[in-house]
Chains A and B, each alone.
Chain A
Amino acid sequence: MRGKFAILCAVGLALCLGAGALRAQTPEADISWPELARDIFKGQPLNDGKGLLSIEMPYRAEDAAIVPVTLRIALPAGDTRSVKTITLIIDQNPSPVAATFTIDPGISMISTRVRVNSYTSVHAVAELSDGALYVVETYVKASGGCSAPAAKDTQDAKVNLGLMRFRQFAAPKQAPASTPREAQIMIRHPNNSGLQMDQITHLYVPLFIVDRLRVWQGDRLLLSMEGGISISENPNIRFAYRPNGAATFRAEASDTDGHVFRAEWPAAQSDM
Chain B
Amino acid sequence: MRQLLGRHLIPFTRAVFILICLFANLDRSAGLTLCNNSRADEQFSLSEVAPGVYVHFGKTALMTAENEGDIANIGIIVGQDFVAVIDTGGSVREGCRFLAAIQAITSKPIRYVINSHAHPDHVFGNAAFAALGATFVGHANLPRALALRGPLYLDAFRRTMGPRLIDEVELIAPTLTVERDMRLDLGRRALTLKAWRTAHSDSDLTVLDEATGTLFAGDLVFVRHVPVLDGSIRGWLAALDELAGIRARRVVPGHGPLAEWPGALADERRYLQRLARDTRALIAQGIPLAAAVQAAGATEKLQWQLFEEYNTRNATAAYAELEWE
Is B302 interfacial (CB 8 A cutoff)? no
Is A148 interfacial (CB 8 A cutoff)? yes
Told that A9-B30, A151-B148, A195-B12 touch, could you supply 9 new A-B pairs with CB distance under 8 A? A13-B26, A13-B29, A21-B163, A40-B4, A56-B290, A62-B293, A64-B156, A95-B4, A152-B321
> Complex Cα distance A149/B155, Å?
12
The chain A residue sitting closest to B150, CB to CB, is A199
Are A17 and B150 within 8 A (Cβ)? Answer: no
The segment from B13-21, B94-102, B268-276 that touches chain A is B13-21
Contact sample, A vs B, 20 pairs, CB 8 Å cutoff: A19-B22, A23-B163, A24-B158, A62-B316, A94-B12, A100-B1, A111-B288, A143-B313, A144-B309, A148-B149, A152-B232, A153-B231, A154-B202, A155-B197, A167-B286, A196-B16, A197-B20, A199-B146, A199-B150, A236-B320
Are A95 and B155 within 8 A (Cβ)? Answer: no
Min C-beta distance of B291 to chain A, whole Å:
9
> Complex Cα distance A213/B39, Å?
60
Given A226-B1, A234-B320 in contact, is the A196-B198 Cβ separation under 8 Å?
A: no
Is B159 interfacial (CB 8 A cutoff)? yes
Are A66 and B317 within 8 A (Cβ)? Answer: yes
What are the 6 tightest A-B residue pairs by CB atom distance, in nearest-first order? A62-B313, A198-B147, A146-B119, A20-B167, A68-B290, A24-B163
Q: Which residues of A contact B321 (CB under 8 A)?
A: 152
> Complex Cα distance A263/B230, Å?
30
Are A58 and B163 within 8 A (Cβ)? Answer: no
> Complex Cα distance A62/B306, Å?
13
Query: Which residues of B (220-268) have their CB < 8 Å from a CB of A?
Result: 228, 230-232, 235
Q: Which residues of B contact A33 (CB under 8 A)?
A: none
Q: Which residues of B contact A149 (CB under 8 A)?
A: 152
Given A12-B29, A16-B26, A195-B12 in contact, is the A147-B230 Cβ separation under 8 Å?
A: yes
Is A191 interfacial (CB 8 A cutoff)? no
Are A197 and B9 within 8 A (Cβ)? Answer: no
Query: Which residues of B (151-177) have their CB < 8 Å from a CB of A?
Result: 151-153, 155-156, 158-160, 162-163, 167, 171, 173
1/0 per residue, CB under 8 A from B, across A138-175: the answer is 00001111111111111110000000010101100000
Are B152 and A148 within 8 A (Cβ)? Answer: yes
The chain A residue sitting closest to B162, CB to CB, is A24
Question: Chain A's interface: helix, strand, loop or mixed, by majority?
Answer: loop
Determine which residue in B119, B146, B286, B321 has the highest number of CB atoms from chain A within 10 A of its CB, and name it.
B286
Q: Which residues of A contact B202 (CB under 8 A)?
A: 152-155
How many B residues touch A, CB cutoff 8 Å? 72
Are A23 and B15 within 8 A (Cβ)? Answer: yes
Given A58-B290, A66-B317 in contact, is the A199-B310 Cβ separation under 8 Å?
A: no
User: Out of B147, B286, B309, which one reaches A200, CB within 8 Å?
Assistant: B147
Is B188 interfacial (CB 8 A cutoff)? no
Q: Which residues of A contact B150 (CB under 8 A)?
A: 199
> Complex Cα distance A97/B23, Å?
31
The segment from B41-49, B52-60, B107-115, B137-145 that touches chain A is B137-145
Is B323 interfacial (CB 8 A cutoff)? yes
> Complex Cα distance A31/B286, Å?
38
The chain B residue sitting closest to A57, CB to CB, is B290
Are A118 and B155 within 8 A (Cβ)? Answer: yes
Q: Which residues of A contact B17 (CB under 8 A)?
A: 197
Query: Which residues of A (195-215) have their CB < 8 Å from a CB of B?
Result: 195-202, 205
The chain A residue sitting closest to B294, CB to CB, is A58
Query: Which residues of B (278-306) have their CB < 8 Å from a CB of A?
Result: 286, 288-290, 293
Is A232 interfacial (CB 8 A cutoff)? yes
> Complex Cα distance A233/B96, Å?
37
> Complex Cα distance A216/B255, Å?
49
Are A154 and B20 within 8 A (Cβ)? Answer: no
Given A24-B158, A145-B313 in contact, is the A154-B145 Cβ separation under 8 Å?
A: yes
1/0 per residue, CB under 8 A from B, across A101-140: the answer is 0000000000101000111000000000000000000000
Is A243 interfacial (CB 8 A cutoff)? no
